[in-house]
Structure 1
Amino acid sequence: MGEIAGELARVKGAFAQPTLTLLHQRQAAVVITIFRAAFGRNNKPIPTARLHTQVEEHLAGIRLAGESEVPTGSGRDICQRWMRGQWLVRSLDETGNEVYSLTSHAQQALELVKNLARDRATLSEHRIATILGSVRRFNSEANPDRTSRVTILNAEIARLQAERDRLVDGAEMVGATEDYMLEGFTELLSLISALPSDFARVEERFATIRGEILAAFRAEDRPAGEVIDAYLARADALMTATHEGRAFEGAFALLRDDALVGQLREDLTALLEHPISGRILSDADRAELQGTVRLVRDGLDRVLAQRSRVTATLKEYIVSHDAARDRQLEQTLRQVESELMAWMATTGPRATHDVPLMPARAGVDHLRERFYDPADDVLPERIATADPDDAPEVSLTALMAQGGPRLNSLRERLEEALTSLRPVGSLGELFDQLEPSLRRPVEILGLLHLAADRDWGTEDVLDTFAAVRHDGSRRAFAVPRTPLPDPDRPAARPARSARSESETR
């Protein structure tokens, strides 16, 4: 009973992990689908507002597809619940904006679903050969017996030399079968898909260390030097004593070696250009293999950025921590204590003294914000006198064509239209009857100005004013229709005559 009870406790502990709590809920399929659609395979951080909008749009599409088990609430509320479930984490990017990213638990769940969605690999020659090769290589690197290591290396050299000689002599090349290639690509994709979650674990470890450092600094229960020593020890242990740290160090060493990176690219290109790969790999798998180096670089950049944030926290504390200020505060408190003892020596036991809780504010009428700068009194450079002969020739007609509206001429045309036997319906019709010199775009403003002086109202419909610029080009303007008053109505005549009388005066 003891063994089975212990096994049950371990299984319950595994089910309590955020990875299995994500997969064990009723809405797991919907959540995984949204994570895959939003973050993709590289887990690139997404701004918080954008992810809120994307979640709402994806949920709307899933509801239209007929799915009933979907999360409820706004995109913000749903993301907050996912953060409490340890599937999303919110942080600041390099520019200081808030972004979301998947935790290592969520990436593990995505990796598991992705592996199950692929055709599962079965027992094959490729898998057995891979196991044998891995065990052989592991033994050659870890065997403590010098003679055994030399024997293994000699055997491998002899095998490779024989294969090389056979190919140089023109022997028949044995091609890989489609099953062999399928098994190899499946194992390769499985290894690559595990990289993002490994990098995320290292990133989360550094984030945890940063939170603990800040808590230790705020508590001030340990000296700052001891806190910094503890961080350096934990950072070193993270890189050497954990699986994720060793994987990070190995990937970092790989990317520092240009030859290894080039070899990796060449090998992947050769595999993707294999004649059989076109029938085996989908477009998504091909893109995943092609982006392997970029995937590793992005993961390293995020881990290094998180480690830089920890280092920046230490630097900020060391720089901002002022020992002299602490000594001044201690001296002030001691002086206050000394003055208090002196006051107690000359007063009774029931003496009181009113002490303000906060010091009084200093009254300053004006505080100088800027000081004298001699550069402000430097005279500007002398303006060079232009030669009048270099000025372009401009005629009076050209200047008048570029000037403002000719209100006198427009007023005369407007009065003629109001007293004409053939009345004009609106300002637009009057504008179309004018000569080209009075149909400039600026003349439209002049007519509207004259209409506003006469308190003429506008209608909801638009009039088209076909204007003619001084260079002969034409331009049409849409202006609310301003009807002209009917000259036959008696009410319109006194207003117009009064206006003309006032203008005459």
Structure 2
Amino acid sequence: MLALLHQTHAPFVVTALAMVFTAERPTVAVADAHAEINDALDQLRAAGYGDEDSQPLPAGTARDLCRQWVQAGWLVRQVSDDDAEVYRLSAYGVGALEVAGRVGGARTRVSKSRVRTLLEAIERLAQDADPDLMSRMVRLHEEIQQRQKELTRLEKGGAVETVDDEQLLEAAENVLHLARELPADFARVAESIKVIQRDVVAELRHDVRPTGEVLREYLARGQRILDATPEGRAFAGALRLIGDPAQIDGLWGQLRTVLRHRFTELLPQQQRRELTDISRRIEQGVKEVLAAQRQASHVITSQVRNHDPMRDRQVDELLRDVMSGLHKWVPDSRRGEAVEPLRRLPVADVGHLRQRMSDPRPPQPPAPLRDWDESEDLTAADTRAWGGPRYAELRAHLEAFAGPAARVDVVAAFRAAGEEIQRPVDLLGLLEITHGFGLTETAEVVVVDTVRPDRSRRRFALGNVVAANPAGVDGSGGDE
């Protein structure tokens, strides 16, 4: 960050980065960034900048400048979710822009709002650090009494104490001062997560242990990556306060209340825009850190699943042997000279050899079926019992159960049937018969017991249904 601010072309670099990267556009496509910076360079050179007697400008095209800024650590080049290359500011670049913005903007004053913020922070720190129960109870009672006294005064018709515009203006400047530190903090957390990702992947690639051991040791670290750095632990604590969508919505509502007040007309346009963007910048910073966490966990998990350290080591050794052989052979080789083959080749890794050979005899067809003698007695009753629904018996029973009524309860009719037509398949057959009679489902869920031919019972739950009386419906083709 200091290298960016202290270099000769710092005014141009800071201005160009602030122009390209905004709160609404944290990432910019590589081609768009090059075009915008080239356009800015052309306009400045046409206006006379860059000469010996004027403000110096860096040499080279926008592509060259962006490459230098990436190498210096001010920009980060990455691939976005839609597989497009984009630039984004690094934590050092965000910090440099925040420093330049504070210096070039309104001067921060020692105001009542800033002193009150400091005193309230110290008071909360003392309260959190003091474990004494009685002291905390005394403080809570005093606060309750003060609140109750104020409420009583207002209920009796007391006027709300107003704050003059000057104090509100000081408080707004204090809020902006605190909010300017957030983007750099979020960027540092995201970059610390990516540093851990690179470290873990490098260790995985150079490890010679089996994949199972690597998986047990490093996968948990990748899933709990926020707990591995001081920045991550601090962000995890802050996330409990600002990660709740209700908190963000409440913050946005409070900012709208502030912006509707007349004192905001005294603020410059830039500061009013910064007040409007506070909640969006916080939400965007949280999303950036969480996206970096998910990306790191995905990369580490994919590395463990798809790369075998032992296999990678064998490939590296083989490639080194090949390169070593080429370095020895090329200086002394001649055109048409015989080439000595590579003596060391990888051995095929056979996972499992067949232990038994197949029968060399051709496969034999199955034994022919025995001829059926028509005189043999067949168990027709048992076959019929395990067969399909008995449509005729079910329809006759349903008509008898319904009697003269226009509609009939299908489940009640099934419960009243004999056991020979209370099989599970008969329940389906009864529903099939009544489907053509104007079946109506009710909201009630009923349980039906059925009896299988082997006397075992099965219980089914279904929505209760009512159907028209089949005696009053044309039943042609109903028993198919």
> Which category of TM-score, normalised to the shorter sequence, fits these structures?
0.5 to 0.7
* Alignment of structure 1 residues 97-176 onto 2, 5 Å: 97-176=84-163
State the partner residue of 1:229: 217
Structure 1 segments unaligned to the other structure (5+ residues): 1-18, 334-353, 360-505
Deviations 1:346-396 (A, max 9, x none): xxxxxxxx856699xxxxxxxxxxxxxxxxxxxxxxxxxxxxxxxxxxxxx
Deviations 1:164-208 (A, max 9, x none): 222232223322222211221111112222111111111111211
CA distance in 2, matches of 1:85, 1:133: 40
Q: Please, which of 12, 23, 26 is the counterpart of residue 44 of structure 1? A: 26
CA distance in 2, matches of 1:302, 1:172: 45
* Alignment of structure 1 residues 91-490 onto 2, 5 Å: 91-221=78-208, 224=211, 225-226=213-214, 229-230=217-218, 232-233=220-221, 236=224, 238-239=226-227, 242=230, 244-279=231-266, 281-321=267-307
CA distance in 2, matches of 1:160, 1:63: 63
* Cα 1:122–1:293 shift into 2, 3 Å: closer
Deviations 1:456-488 (A, max 9, x none): xxxxxxxxxxxxxxxxxxxxxxxxxxxxxxxxx
SS at match of 1:91: strand
* Cα 1:87–1:171 shift into 2, 3 Å: same
CA distance in 1, matches of 2:247, 2:89: 29
Contact 1:27 1:70 in 2 (8 A): yes
State the partner residue of 2:12: 30
Q: Does 1:62 align with 2:44?
A: yes
CA distance in 2, matches of 1:129, 1:311: 42
The alpha carbon displacement at 1:63 in A equals: 2.7
Matched to 1:136, the amino acid is E
CA distance in 2, matches of 1:153, 1:66: 66
CA distance in 2, matches of 1:231, 1:57: 47
SS at match of 2:76: strand
* Cα 1:163–1:115 shift into 2, 3 Å: farther
Matched to 2:217, the amino acid is D
Contact 1:87 1:102 in 2 (8 A): yes
* Cα 1:159–1:121 shift into 2, 3 Å: farther
Identity of aligned residues (%): 30
The alpha carbon displacement at 1:87 in A equals: 0.4
* Cα 1:265–1:208 shift into 2, 3 Å: same
Deviations 1:402-441 (A, max 9, x none): xxxxxxxxxxxxxxxxxxxxxxxxxxxxxxxxxxxxxxxx
CA distance in 1, matches of 2:197, 2:47: 43
CA distance in 1, matches of 2:43, 2:237: 42
* Cα 1:227–1:184 shift into 2, 3 Å: farther
CA distance in 2, matches of 1:290, 1:227: 46
Deviations 1:36-85 (A, max 9, x none): 10001356111111111111111222333443311110111101111111
Contact 1:111 1:194 in 2 (8 A): yes
CA distance in 1, matches of 2:215, 2:184: 29
CA distance in 1, matches of 2:29, 2:137: 56
Deviations 1:274-302 (A, max 9, x none): 121122x2333222222222222222222
Deviations 1:200-221 (A, max 9, x none): 1111112111221221222124
The alpha carbon displacement at 1:306 in A equals: 1.9
Matched residues, number: 316
- TM-score (structure 2 length as normaliser): 0.60
CA distance in 1, matches of 2:66, 2:160: 56
Contact 1:47 1:97 in 2 (8 A): yes
SS at match of 2:82: coil
* Cα 1:211–1:258 shift into 2, 3 Å: closer
CA distance in 2, matches of 1:148, 1:305: 43
Contact 2:204 2:304 in 1 (8 A): no
* Cα 1:190–1:206 shift into 2, 3 Å: same
State the partner residue of 1:345: none
* Cα 1:358–1:246 shift into 2, 3 Å: closer
* Cα 1:314–1:73 shift into 2, 3 Å: same
- After superposing the two structures, state which structure 1 stretch, 117-126 or 45-54, moved more: 117-126
CA distance in 2, matches of 1:285, 1:25: 28
CA distance in 1, matches of 2:223, 2:180: 26
SS at match of 2:262: coil
- TM-score (structure 1 length as normaliser): 0.57
CA distance in 1, matches of 2:259, 2:39: 36
Q: Per chain length, whose mean CA-contact separation is higher, i.e. which structure has more relative contact order (CA < 8 Å, sep 6+)?
A: 2
The alpha carbon displacement at 1:108 in A equals: 0.7
CA distance in 2, matches of 1:357, 1:157: 87
The alpha carbon displacement at 1:256 in A equals: 4.5
Contact 2:193 2:225 in 1 (8 A): no
CA distance in 2, matches of 1:112, 1:260: 28
* Cα 1:166–1:65 shift into 2, 3 Å: farther
CA distance in 1, matches of 2:40, 2:63: 14
Deviations 1:70-118 (A, max 9, x none): 1110111101111111101111111121111111111111111111222
Contact 1:140 1:152 in 2 (8 A): no
Contact 2:200 2:218 in 1 (8 A): no
Deviations 1:99-144 (A, max 9, x none): 1111111111111111122222323322222222222222222212
